[in-house]
Amino acid sequence: MTVEELKRLRDEGRMPLVLDVREPVELSLASFPFPVVAIPLGALSARFRELPTDRTVVCACRSGGRSAWAVEFLRARGIALAENLEGGILAWSSRIDPHVPRY
């Protein structure tokens, strides 16, 4: 999913669950301007059962690499509606909201 698609869904009131898999220190540096579920990638194997299986889960990280891994992990465990946020928070900052810090 692109950041433009995510923004459109948010603007239409159809916001999916966004799973931010960055580390806590990264969350303190830059955050999305909407609620997210924050589970660091290293904790995902222990906590993935907290996520819904009947709702789109958009995985996000800094640039899209870790979240792509998270999508594969979640899909293999029955969360078929998992999607990757292409470009992560860096894309959100550069293409949607320049007020979100880049790090």
Q: Catalytic residue among 61, 70, 74, 89, which?
A: 61
The strand ranges marked E within the chain are 17-20, 37-38, 57-60, 82-84
Beta bridge partners of 49: none
Q: Is 59 a catalytic residue?
A: no
- How far, in Å, CA of 26 to CA of 72, rounded? 22
- How far, in Å, CA of 9 to CA of 41, rounded? 25
Backbone angles phi, psi at 37, to 5 degrees: -95, 120
Active-site residues, by number, are 61
